[in-house]
Amino acid sequence: MAQTNDKQINKNKNKPFSKLNKSKHFKPIKPDQKIYSFYINNYPTNGRRAPRCNGGDISLVTAALMPLTHAELRDRFRATLLGAAIGDALGFPYEGAPPATLRRLPHIADDFAPRPRGGRLPRGIFSDDTQMMLAVAESILISGKIDGRTIAACIAKLWREGFILYADQVCTEAVNRLLEGTPWMSSGSPIGMATNSAAVRAAPIGLFQFDAQARIHRDAETQGVITHKDPRSIAGGAAMAAAVAISLGDPLPADTFCLRVAAIVRLLDPDLARHIEQLPQLLSFEPSDAARVISNAGLPPHQPKDRVGISNFVYPSVLMAFYGALRARGDFRNCMEMVLLAGGDTDSVACMAGALMGAQYGCAILPSSLCKGVFDGARVVQIADALFELKERSLPREVAIATSARRNTGRFPTWRG
C-alpha cells in the first residue's frame, strides 16, 4: 500500500493544485502506512508510548527530545510571538486591499506604515489578532495549562475594557455572549462561520505543547470553541499550533513538515489536512499564481471562484501563511512581501506567517528596525519569556538535561524544500 501511494504522489506531483485536490486517483497517505512508521522509529518519544490514530501510530503527536540549548529555545519563544506581532503590524494598514493596489506600493515589507488607518493609530501597532494571541499566552501563565475558562476570561477582558482593535464580527458576537453569561463552551459562533481567528491566536499553544504534540488537537479545540463552533476553524487552530511546535525541532523538508502537520489536523478536519499535504506542490509556483490557487481552497464546487485576495476563511489564510513561511527559506522580509502582496486579510495571514518564521529560525531573522518599531514590543518579549520559564519548569527531566547539555553552534537551521 505504501509503495502504491508513493507512485501516485510522484505521478501527480506536477498537477495543478486545484485539479489534484479533486482527482479521484489521488488518495492521501493514511496514518497506518510506512511513512508514519518511519517517523515513529526515528523520532524519540521520551519513553512514552505513541498514541494511535485511525489504527496507526503517528510520530508527530509524540513528544520529541529538543535539539536546542536553553538560550536557543528561549530565543524561539521570543521570535514566535514577536514575529507574529511584526507581521500583524505590517499587514494591519492594508487589510482588505486588493493585490493590484498593493503591488503599486514599493518595499511594502521594509517598514511599518507611518500613518495606519488614516493616522488614527500609532505607527507599528498590531490588530486584534496579536491582542488575542497574547491573551491566550497570558491565560496559560495564569492557569499553568490550556484552560478554556481562563482563555475565555482573558479574551473577554479585551472587549470589556475597550482594548480590542478592529475585531471581526464573528469574535465580537461570541465575546458578547460570554459577557452576557453564556458558558465558554457554548459561546462560539455557529457552524458556517469558519473564519481564521482561532488559528491566528493558536501559536502559544504550539509553544507550550511542543513536547506533547498529542494534546494539540484537543487544546486547539478548547481555545477555538470559545469563538467558533465550526470544526474547520478549530482545525485551523490545530494546524497553526502544530506547525509552531514542529518548527521548534530540526529543519525538515517542506513535504515532511506538511505531512506531520496534516496528521494532527486530520484528527479534526480531513479536508484541511489534505490541502496541507498537497501544499508543497505549490512552492514552485510564483507567489501571485500560488495566491490565486490558495484563495479558492476549501470553496464548494458550486461557489464562484472570484475572490480578490486571501479572505478570512480559515483554509486560504492558513495555507497562504504556510506557503510564505516555507517558500521564503529564512528571509523574513521576503515572506512578508509574499503574503502582503496576496491582499485580502493581510494582517491575519502575515501574523501567522511571522509566527512560523520566528518559531523555525529565531530572532536572528527578524529585522532589528521592525523589532524596535513594533508597538509594545517589550511586553511581547516579556510574555514570551514568562511562557518559556513556565514551560521550562514543566519539562521532563531528560528533556531539560538535553536542552542544557547541547552546545550552541551559533548556526540557524534552514528549510529544505
State which amino acid sits at residue 281. Q
Q: Is the pLDDT of residue 365 over 70?
A: yes
- Identify the residue with better confidence: 395 or 392: 392
Query: Quick one: pLDDT at residue 117?
Result: 78
Local confidence band at 94 (pLDDT 50, 70, 90 cut-offs):
very high
**Looking at the domain assignment, is residue 67 inside a domain?**
yes
Are the C-beta atoms of 282 and 239 separated by less than 8 Å? no
Question: Quick one: average pLDDT of 363-375?
Answer: 96
pTM of the model: 0.81
Q: Is the pLDDT of residue 405 over 90?
A: no
- Identify the residue with better confidence: 11 or 182: 182
Query: Quick one: pLDDT at residue 17?
Result: 43
In terms of phi and psi (left: phi > 0; alpha: psi -120 to 50; beta: otherwise), the region of 146 is beta
Contacts of 3 (CB under 8 A, 6+ apart): none
Q: What does 322-355 look like in DSSP terms, one character per residue?
A: HHHHHHHTT-HHHHHHHHHHT-BSHHHHHHHHHH
Helix (H, G, I), strand (E, B) or coil at 401: helix
**Looking at the domain assignment, is residue 321 inside a domain?**
yes
Contacts of 373 (CB under 8 A, 6+ apart): 111, 112, 123, 124
Could you report the per-residue pLDDT of 49-86, keeping only the tens digit for each?
A: 333 343 333 333 333 444 678 889 999 999 999 999 99
* Of 264, 253, 255, 172, residue with least CA distance to 215: 264
Local confidence band at 307 (pLDDT 50, 70, 90 cut-offs):
low
State which amino acid sits at residue 119. G
Q: What does the alpha-carbon distance between residue 404 and residue 402 come to, in Å, rounded to a whole number? A: 5
Q: What does the alpha-carbon distance between residue 246 and residue 360 come to, in Å, rounded to a whole number? A: 9
pLDDT > 70 in the chain, percent: 77
**Looking at the domain assignment, is residue 10 inside a domain?**
no
Could you report the per-residue pLDDT of 254-283, keeping only the tens digit for each?
A: 999 999 999 999 999 999 999 999 999 999
**Looking at the domain assignment, is residue 4 inside a domain?**
no
Could you report the per-residue pLDDT of 229-243, keeping only the tens digit for each?
A: 999 999 999 999 999
Could you report the per-residue pLDDT of 97-152, keeping only the tens digit for each?
A: 999 999 999 889 999 998 887 778 899 999 999 999 999 999 999 999 999 999 99
Residue 288, domain extent: 63-405
Query: Quick one: pLDDT at residue 303?
Result: 60
**Looking at the domain assignment, is residue 56 inside a domain?**
no
Could you report the per-residue pLDDT of 153-209, keeping only the tens digit for each?
A: 999 999 999 899 988 899 999 999 999 999 999 999 999 899 999 999 999 999 999
**Looking at the domain assignment, is residue 45 inside a domain?**
no
Q: What is the residue whose three cell numbers read 512514552? A: 48
Alpha-carbon separation of residue 122 from 89, 112, 114, 117 (angstroms):
10, 10, 8, 9
Query: Quick one: pLDDT at residue 304?
Result: 56
Local confidence band at 301 (pLDDT 50, 70, 90 cut-offs):
low
**Looking at the domain assignment, is residue 9 inside a domain?**
no
Query: Quick one: pLDDT at residue 394?
Result: 77
Locate all alpha helices (DSSP H) within 92-230, ordered by sequence.
99-102, 128-143, 148-160, 169-179, 197-200, 203-208, 216-224
State which amino acid sits at residue 402. A
What H or E segment, with its residue span, contains residue 53? strand 52-53
Query: Quick one: pLDDT at residue 68?
Result: 77
Q: What does the alpha-carbon distance between residue 100 and residue 298 come to, in Å, rounded to a whole number? A: 24
Listed range (6-10, 165-169, 222-226) with the worst mean pLDDT: 6-10
**Looking at the domain assignment, is residue 270 inside a domain?**
yes
Query: Quick one: pLDDT at residue 393?
Result: 86
Query: Quick one: pLDDT at residue 411?
Result: 37
Are the C-beta atoms of 314 and 236 separated by less than 8 Å? yes
* Of 360, 373, 295, residue with least CA distance to 332: 360
Query: Quick one: pLDDT at residue 305?
Result: 57
The chain-wide mean pLDDT, for the chain, equals: 82
Count of domains for the chain: 1
* Of 317, 407, 411, 319, residue with least CA distance to 365: 411
Q: Is the pLDDT of residue 351 over 70?
A: yes
C-alpha cell at 58: 503517528
- Length of the chain, in residues: 417
**CATH number for position 314:** 1.10.4080.10
